[in-house]
Amino acid sequence: MTAPVTPALLYLDNVSVSFDGFRALNALSLAIDHAEMRAIIGPNGAGKTTMMDVITGKTRPNEGIALFEGSHDLTALDEAAIAELGIGRKFQTPTVFEMHSVEDNLLLALKEKRSPFATLLSRRTAQERERVDALLERVRLTSSRHRKAGELSHGQKQWLEIGMLLAQQPKLLLIDEPAAGMTDQETADTADLLRDIARTQSVVVVEHDMTFVRDLGVKVTCLHEGSVLAEGSLDAVSANERVVEVYLGR
């Protein structure tokens, strides 16, 4: 596949995944443009996490197409290769390297050569230091740079993880419930940060918190039982009868 099939950055078409007969994704189709931010909502079990697993190479779909930049077949690549293509993923529960310092967490995430040999011989450069400094500033962790990541608060860990994503310089960020467990102020700050990121990079945010989604003010996709139920502005989607039905369980 050399010629781009689609202008979209991320293109999923007719993707299905089943575990032991249970269909986690059912002919899901989705397209994300360059520098677009998209919010994904949907009740539990709608397939949000599985969709991220497919995009990042953790789960292989039973059928369907998953293309990145119109030419890379995501279904044929492993996690590491997909990460190198420029897709970063933040987990639902913040996952950072707890025994490493905040600074080391970011250094490990910096876009550098990833092979064992390269890391064994690597020396930290002034340029790397600058990039880490800038990242620390951006996620507001400069004062904690030497602390162990495990000692950070929940919200700080969320931000550190987003910082690590940014250090990868990805073209697409997949962010799973960034506002979970955050104070109102932190939630608002996170929305600002994501909007800022979306100026240059594409962002897909999975979120339950509707206030937060409203804050983002972007196009919303509602998933249900592994496929797209509705798509559009938040107001349009929440007015959709079927969405209401799914959420209120009528």
What is the contact surface with other proteins in residues (CB under 8 A)? Answer: 19-20, 22, 24, 49-50, 56, 58, 78-80, 83-84, 88-89, 91, 93, 95-101, 103-104, 107-109, 114-116, 119-122, 124, 146, 150-151, 164, 168
Q: What angle do CA 67, 53, 195 make, to 5 degrees?
A: 75
Tell me how far apart the alpha carbons of residues 158 and 165 are, in angstroms, rounded to a whole number: 11
In the complex, the smallest distance separating the C-beta of residue 116 from other proteins, rounded to whole angstroms, is 4
Which DSSP state fits 170? -
In the complex, the smallest distance separating the C-beta of residue 41 from other proteins, rounded to whole angstroms, is 20
Q: Are 185 and 161 in contact (CB under 8 A)?
A: no
In the complex, the smallest distance separating the C-beta of residue 13 from other proteins, rounded to whole angstroms, is 23
Tell me how far apart the alpha carbons of residues 38 and 52 are, in angstroms, rounded to a whole number: 13
Pairing type for strands 37-41 and 202-206 reads parallel
In the complex, the smallest distance separating the C-beta of residue 6 from other proteins, rounded to whole angstroms, is 24
Task: Give 26 or 240: the residue with its C-beta nearer to other proteins.
Answer: 26
In the complex, the smallest distance separating the C-beta of residue 160 from other proteins, rounded to whole angstroms, is 11
Task: Give 4 or 150: the residue with its C-beta nearer to other proteins.
Answer: 150
With residue 204 as reference, give the H or E element that holds it: strand 202-206
Q: Are 168 and 109 in contact (CB under 8 A)?
A: yes
Task: Give 3 or 121: the residue with its C-beta nearer to other proteins.
Answer: 121
In the complex, the smallest distance separating the C-beta of residue 215 from other proteins, rounded to whole angstroms, is 26
Task: Give 82 or 243: the residue with its C-beta nearer to other proteins.
Answer: 82
Task: Give 104 or 189: the residue with its C-beta nearer to other proteins.
Answer: 104
Other Cβ atoms closer than 10 A to 206:
24
Residue 6 token pair: 């689609």
Q: Are 68 and 12 in contact (CB under 8 A)?
A: no
Task: Give 54 or 107: the residue with its C-beta nearer to other proteins.
Answer: 107
Identity (one letter) of the amino acid at 34?
A: H
Tell me how far apart the alpha carbons of residues 207 and 226 are, in angstroms, rounded to a whole number: 16
